[in-house]
Every structure is written in structure tokens, then in C-alpha cells.
Amino acid sequence: MKFKIRIERIREGLFIATCLNLPYCMVDGEDEREARQRLQAAIQAYVQSYRDRHEEIPYRNS
């Protein structure tokens, strides 16, 4: 499964990273690197939580 992400600089010291394919999967970070790392962890946890419950992952094509 491939994921598209978007990282936006909101202001100095605040970046928001969003996975465009997974509803409500977003994190923040103090810099782009931290936001990207946190998003990778969030995506893994998001997907695993659906697998653990044997539910379909709500993947959106974007």
C-alpha cells in the first residue's frame, strides 16, 4: 500500500503532516523531519489498528 503525504509549515516550529489516503491521519512536529517521522509511525499504527480488528482499511485514492 502506498500513501501520499502532505507536510505544511504552519509557522516557525510547527509543521503539520497529513496522510491524504487515510481519513483523519495527521500529526504535528517542530520541523519537517519530525513531522515526517511521526506521520510514518501514525500510518503504521492506523493500519495495524484496522488489521487487529479485522476491518477494511478506509483507504482513499487521491
Task: Give, for 46, the enclosing helix (H) or strand (E).
Answer: helix 32-52
Cell numbers 493500519 label which residue?
47
- How does residue 62 score in pLDDT terms, banded at 50, 70 and 90? confident
Give the start-to-end residue ranges of the domains of the chain. 5-52
pLDDT for the residue 20: 98
In this prediction the pTM is 0.92
Residue pair 55/47 in contact (Cβ under 8 Å)? The answer is no
pLDDT in tens, 6-23: 999 999 999 999 999 999
The Cα 53–Cα 62 span in angstroms is 25
* 3-state SS, residue 29: strand
